[in-house]
A and B are shown apart, each in its own frame.
Chain A
Amino acid sequence: MSDLLQTTINTLALGGLYALIALGYTLVYGILRFINFAHSDVVAWGGWIAFTVASALGFLTGGGGVLAMMVVLLITMALCAALGVTIERLAYRPLRKAPRLNVLITAIGVSLFLQNVGLLDRLFGTRPTTIVPVLPNTVLVELGSVPIRIYDVLTIFLAVGLVFALERLVYRTKMGRAMRAVSFDERIAALMGVNVNVVVSVTFAIGSALAAAGGILFALRNDLRLTADSTWVLLGLKAFVAAVVGGIGNVRGAAAGALLIAFVEVFVHFWITKLFAGTEWVGQLQDVYVFVILIVVLLWKPSGLFGKSTVEKV
């Protein structure tokens, strides 16, 4: 019973983390139709910017807490939003009309650029570090024998809150309507008076701000390693898989996909490992489950669980 509760909480926390990152992928894909490979690096930069901000404000040496965390979070989200808008302005906008493969390679170029600029000693450097002192992972309450920790609560609250805020933004505001119009048909939207450039910039700002939140939550649970570390790439990949499984371009789909991927990675993995307790290698299969789910879902529904299937014409 306590196993069940513990794995459920872990699933929700990881699902929230994936959802925050997956939304960035899905928003950009919905509007510009390309996979933003640099997104995982914005996530990594989010973690590192949070570290820089926290050490500049003196939160790392004491004086942390929930309020300090919120301050770090807001500043980091704003800085990452600016980073995302800059990337779009300099690298992607000149390629708006180019074939999508070119934009993709450019995104890879941006990704390499962010990774390696982050490695410079003057910026984040190569030493591993942590932002845990800002908000230690204390136990809030015990349910039976299961401790409910502050990070789980924080992740779930942040993810649910931000997803709902985004949902309202996309479906209830004028800007959201403009975003959906551009996603539907860029040219017609422009003819109807939508400023496409502004919409794209806002999309990148929102996606990157959510990525920053994801990066901080990830950095709380794991030591901050290099910006070029493969854990960031894998985190981005899984969040991206979540967006695709949910139906890329769809906000609710990304959240659902993130929960599904987290469910497979934590819940299914835990119980399968428990079932085959004798064989050691079963314990290392969690990434395999994620990608198997991806392949199965895509073969069954080629545009994801909640994606629109499009009819191709000559």
Chain B
Amino acid sequence: MKPLQDRVAALRPNPGMAAGVSAAPFAAAIAIALLMEHAIGPAVGLTWTKILLDVGIAIVLAGSLNVVNGYAGQFSLGQAGFMLVGGYAAAWLTFYGQIHFYDVCPNAVEIDIGDGKMCDPSTVEITKTAITCQLVECFSGKGSMGGFLGNGQLLFLAGCILGGIVAALFGLLVGLPSLRLRGDYLAIVTLGFGEIVRVLGQITALQPKDVGEIQNESMVGLMNNLGGSEGFSQIPDYTSAGTKGAMFWVFLFALVLLILTFRLKYSSKGRALLAVRENEIAAEAMGVDTTRAKVVAFVFSAFFAGIGGALYAHQINAIDPKELGFQKSIDLVIIVVIGGMGSITGIVLGASILVILPELFREFSEYRMIVYALALIVVMIARPQGIMGIQELWELPAWRKLTAKFTSRKKS
């Protein structure tokens, strides 16, 4: 008989094969993201591209919250704070970085014609009624700095990752002390954190609008120039509708998050989180390190919230700390609760419904929010567990019946 080691090794799956299987979903994610970019985006037109981008970003944000709120059962109201931190970090890198690393504005820009738009000084014409000029494209050029996967987009990718990392560090900072608290108290502390970040964002220094000024300051020196109460503006629009690569990046991040949360849910770590959600004391008695599990979930969630913040900032070209306060955190919690806490398909459904429906009723703007509020109350009274509950689409009895019919027909 062969030694035990060899027998175990023989039972192990082929490492190459295993790596292939585990990488396959990510390859599929890239393929789907490319499909969204090149086929779906052009097919549905600009308005719907924008709505789809909103849905994708909402999936990233709500999906990240789902890990803390749905899996671990910890009620966090500070997700907008992580968005804000991540958005600032990414915008700092893409806005100042394009000038420092790639020198995108060779003409020093001197004239501000209002609205924060910059002129190319060689084209200024002053007439009796107005000042006209060619706007300098370097601050708001759609798809500027190289094409797909060009310098600009790589800088943007680095910005997203940086935003995620900075937000994750904040998550660790907030999570370590506060996750000792339970239930509503945790919600209040995370809410307090979000408000503190918002106020700190509002007291940062203004953003220099002059290229020369930016060039004279080092990247580190510019870390405090995040726009203050005016907000960080003129962020390159890598994820705005109509920019090349916008659909690709948004849906790549959304799909990667969905794959990771799916794997987490069915792994031992995820089951530990679900155990914490159901009963913390019982989970601890079963050997789950509950504090560690909660902090890890919190940091993971903060990382993707930071990325979501970066995507959001590059979509609307600006970060306004007033917009990313308590209300934004609440919006995300609503998506998670309506979709079904802990359900990945629920998040996708919830994000789609809550983004698309208000868009459809834009004409009735006066009554739109009233109807939305009433719908929220009615859903909570009629279906407290949300649309999906904790189940996934493929776990529903109706779906099983459907697929069973399909597979049995194949067999016969």
Are A and B bound to each other? yes
In the complex with contacts A237-B326, A284-B202, A299-B177, A112-B372 CB distance below 8 A: yes
Do A35 and B184 have beta carbons less than 8 Å apart?
A: yes
Which chain A residues (262-297) contact chain B, with CB distance < 8 Å?
281, 284-285, 287-288, 291-292, 294-295
Residues of A within 8 A of B187 (CB): 35
Do A291 and B281 have beta carbons less than 8 Å apart?
A: no
Q: Bound complex: CA of A119 vs CA of B330, how far in Å?
A: 20
Whether, in the assembled complex, B113 has its beta carbon less than 8 Å from a beta carbon of chain A, the answer is no
Main secondary structure, interface of A, reads helix
Do B192 and A108 have beta carbons less than 8 Å apart?
A: no
Whether, in the assembled complex, B23 has its beta carbon less than 8 Å from a beta carbon of chain A, the answer is no
Whether, in the assembled complex, B376 has its beta carbon less than 8 Å from a beta carbon of chain A, the answer is yes
Whether, in the assembled complex, B203 has its beta carbon less than 8 Å from a beta carbon of chain A, the answer is yes
Which chain B residues (25-42) contact chain A, with CB distance < 8 Å?
none
**Segment among A51-59, A98-106, A192-200 that sits at the interface with chain B:** A98-106
Do A113 and B373 have beta carbons less than 8 Å apart?
A: yes
Q: Bound complex: CA of A108 vs CA of B377, how far in Å?
A: 9
Whether, in the assembled complex, B117 has its beta carbon less than 8 Å from a beta carbon of chain A, the answer is no
Taken residue by residue from 74 to 117, chain A's Cβ proximity to chain B (1 for < 8 Å, 0 otherwise) reads as 00000000000000000100110011111101101111110111
Do B185 and A303 have beta carbons less than 8 Å apart?
A: yes
Q: Which of A98, A101, A117 has the most chain B CB atoms closer than 10 A to its own CB?
A: A101
In the complex with contacts A102-B384, A120-B366, A237-B326, A281-B203 CB distance below 8 A: yes
Whether, in the assembled complex, A244 has its beta carbon less than 8 Å from a beta carbon of chain B, the answer is yes
Q: Which of A103, A240, A287 has the most chain B CB atoms closer than 10 A to its own CB?
A: A287
Do A109 and B322 have beta carbons less than 8 Å apart?
A: no
Do A288 and B384 have beta carbons less than 8 Å apart?
A: no
Do A314 and B333 have beta carbons less than 8 Å apart?
A: no
Q: In the complex, how many angstroms separate the beta carbon of A57 from the nearest chain B beta carbon? A: 29
Whether, in the assembled complex, B200 has its beta carbon less than 8 Å from a beta carbon of chain A, the answer is yes
Whether, in the assembled complex, A148 has its beta carbon less than 8 Å from a beta carbon of chain B, the answer is no
Q: In the complex, how many angstroms separate the beta carbon of A84 from the nearest chain B beta carbon? A: 16
Do A101 and B369 have beta carbons less than 8 Å apart?
A: no
Contact of A113 among B188, B191, B280, B377 (CB under 8 A): B377
Which chain A residues (234-273) contact chain B, with CB distance < 8 Å?
237, 240-241, 244, 248
20 example contacts (A-B, Cβ-Cβ < 8 A) are as follows A105-B376, A105-B380, A112-B369, A113-B373, A116-B373, A117-B370, A120-B366, A240-B188, A244-B185, A281-B203, A288-B199, A291-B196, A292-B196, A295-B189, A298-B189, A299-B180, A299-B189, A302-B185, A312-B280, A314-B282
Residues of A within 8 A of B369 (CB): 112, 115-116
Whether, in the assembled complex, A233 has its beta carbon less than 8 Å from a beta carbon of chain B, the answer is yes
Whether, in the assembled complex, B320 has its beta carbon less than 8 Å from a beta carbon of chain A, the answer is no
The interface on chain B, measured as residues whose beta carbon lies within 8 A of the other chain's beta carbons, has a size of: 46
Residues of A within 8 A of B202 (CB): 284
Q: Bound complex: CA of A241 vs CA of B191, how far in Å?
A: 10
Do B380 and A109 have beta carbons less than 8 Å apart?
A: yes
Whether, in the assembled complex, A230 has its beta carbon less than 8 Å from a beta carbon of chain B, the answer is yes
Do A298 and B185 have beta carbons less than 8 Å apart?
A: yes
Taken residue by residue from 317 to 333, chain B's Cβ proximity to chain A (1 for < 8 Å, 0 otherwise) reads as 00000100111001001
Whether, in the assembled complex, B75 has its beta carbon less than 8 Å from a beta carbon of chain A, the answer is yes
Chain A minimum-CB-distance residue to B369: A116
Which 5 A-B pairs give the minimum distances between C-beta atoms?
Answer: A109-B376, A113-B373, A112-B373, A291-B192, A116-B369
Q: Bound complex: CA of A312 vs CA of B281, how far in Å?
A: 8
Residues of A within 8 A of B372 (CB): 112
Residues of B within 8 A of A241 (CB): 188, 192
Residues of A within 8 A of B384 (CB): 95, 98-99, 102
Q: In the complex, how many angstroms separate the beta carbon of A308 from the nearest chain B beta carbon? A: 13
Residues of A within 8 A of B183 (CB): 100
Which chain B residues (170-201) contact chain A, with CB distance < 8 Å?
177-178, 180-185, 187-189, 191-193, 195-196, 199-200
Chain A minimum-CB-distance residue to B334: A105
